[in-house]
Structure 1
């Protein structure tokens, strides 16, 4: 187990070195930064890494603001959107997958399978403006742009509007809470389409495999109710297989969220990075690459820990290695 842990730690260090090298290469695209690397290109790399380890991401040349403070402002809205989409995906994907497996012989199960395949092929950057247009012409309350109405003010505590709104001490707090969730619903639903369909297919395929096993067929012939088979066999053997897919799904949702933030006027890191690219602010781009890379690494590490705890076969694999 110690050898496996050291091997994973070594791989993590390699990934961090590659990530810092990519960020440093982007950083050096700015002619102003090249003076710090004279006479060789790699001369300033160790100074750059030392600054990163100290939490100093530098400043943006478009305004001179601290990049660390800017990222702490724009990152929470993006994470809020991604986590909300993943929650919705699990809430709908798991039941749809189970229903599709239990009723795979009739039209209901085939419809779920067809819709899940269609949802995986629909690009969100195409469907986002269409849904926003439909919601606007139908005068739905969720056809809102931005994170909150500019008439309201939420004091930033955690950076997540859905959490900070509960600390608003105003007579109209209920209206502010309603407004925050109205702005969150539509982009969340758009982002949740792909992971929902992905989870639906994973759960459906795994459930169909489990239902085809002899021990499940024997339980059915004994007259076990569906809910007992569901809790004893299906969920216990299906959900642990979804957990290793979480980093990939979150990474995919994060990338899609960065694409549609401009459509919904969402003040997230994706919209901020696109503005930085258009302004050729290489300091901001390099800092954004570092932060997004670290976020994905943390999510992957947490998922491996959770898989290690829940999956006994994974534990055996660690010791066997």
Structure 2
């Protein structure tokens, strides 16, 4: 147990070390920072690490503001989309996979399996503008860009508009909440497609295997309903194998979110980094790489802690194949 913890801790430090090297190398691309690499490449690395530990990420050449303040402004909107997409994928993927398994030999099951293939094949940067255009042509209220209508004013307490909107004191508060949800709907649905298909496909394959086991066959002969089998056997034997997949799915969602933020006018870190690349703002690019990598590392660490809490001695086969 202790050895396993130390191993994961060592891997985390190695990952962070590689991230800092990549970030430092990006920083040196700026001619103004070449002095850090004299007389040797590593000459300014320890000074750079010291600034990172102190929370000093430098100044953005584009905005003329501290990069740390800009990160706090653009990171929450991205995490908001990613968290909502991850939650929706789990909420819909589990029942969808089970339905496709129990109806595998009829039209419904075959249709859902066909949707898996299509959903996993569609490029997210292609489907996002098409869905936005389609919803706008049909006058759907979810055809909106940005986190909310600029006519409204929401004080950024946490940076998450879906949370901050509940703390405003306006007579038309319900209308503002509705507007925030409408703006959040379409980008969240687009980000949900790929992880939803992967989760549903995994649950369907796992359910197909479990239905071949004798204890479930006996339950079926005793007249158990599919719902009872789902809660009694399928979920307890599927969720342990799904938990370790969360970091990879979250990483995919973050990468996709960076691609579609520009399409939906979302003020997130992906759109901010792309603008920094266009403007050759190497301080912002370097900080963005560190922050995104750190977020993914934190999600991975949280998953490892969750697995350890639920199964300290790894007896339930969390990493079984």
TM-score by length of structure 2 reads 0.96
* 1:283 aligned partner: 283
The answer to which of 275-284 and 79-88 deviates more is 79-88
Aligned length: 318
Task: Give matches, 1:1-321, under 5 Å.
Answer: 1-311=1-311, 314=314
How far apart are residue 225 of structure 1 and its match?
A: 2.8
Aligned equivalents of 2:305 and 2:149: distance in 1?
Answer: 39
* Contact 1:92/1:196 (<8 A) preserved: yes
Provide Cα deviations, 1:201-221, integer angstroms capped at 9, x if missing partner.
010000110111011111111
How far apart are residue 37 of structure 1 and its match?
A: 3.1
Aligned equivalents of 1:311 and 1:120: distance in 2?
Answer: 32
Provide Cα deviations, 1:138-178, integer angstroms capped at 9, x if missing partner.
11100001111111111010000000000111111111111
Aligned equivalents of 1:214 and 1:312: distance in 2?
Answer: 29
SS in 2 for 1:176: helix
SS in 2 for 1:41: coil
* Contact 1:240/1:311 (<8 A) preserved: no
How far apart are residue 186 of structure 1 and its match?
A: 0.5
Higher helix share: 1
Aligned equivalents of 1:316 and 1:44: distance in 2?
Answer: 47
C-alpha distance 315-305 of structure 1, shift in aligned 2 (>3 A): farther
Aligned equivalents of 1:256 and 1:201: distance in 2?
Answer: 20
Aligned equivalents of 1:313 and 1:157: distance in 2?
Answer: 41
Provide Cα deviations, 1:247-271, integer angstroms capped at 9, x if missing partner.
1111001100100000000000000
Provide Cα deviations, 1:221-248, integer angstroms capped at 9, x if missing partner.
1222322222111111012211111111
TM-score by length of structure 1 reads 0.96
How far apart are residue 315 of structure 1 and its match?
A: 5.5
Aligned equivalents of 1:2 and 1:236: distance in 2?
Answer: 26
SS in 2 for 1:36: helix
C-alpha distance 236-312 of structure 1, shift in aligned 2 (>3 A): farther
* Contact 2:277/2:285 (<8 A) preserved: yes
How far apart are residue 308 of structure 1 and its match?
A: 2.1
The answer to which of 223-232 and 94-103 deviates more is 223-232
* Contact 1:60/1:283 (<8 A) preserved: yes
CA RMSD in angstroms, aligned pairs only: 1.5
C-alpha distance 202-267 of structure 1, shift in aligned 2 (>3 A): same
Aligned equivalents of 1:43 and 1:315: distance in 2?
Answer: 48
Aligned equivalents of 2:316 and 2:84: distance in 1?
Answer: 34
How far apart are residue 313 of structure 1 and its match?
A: 6.0
Aligned equivalents of 2:213 and 2:247: distance in 1?
Answer: 30
SS in 2 for 1:92: helix
Structure 2 unpaired stretches of 5+: none
SS in 2 for 1:159: coil
Structure 1 unpaired stretches of 5+: none
Aligned equivalents of 2:315 and 2:265: distance in 1?
Answer: 45
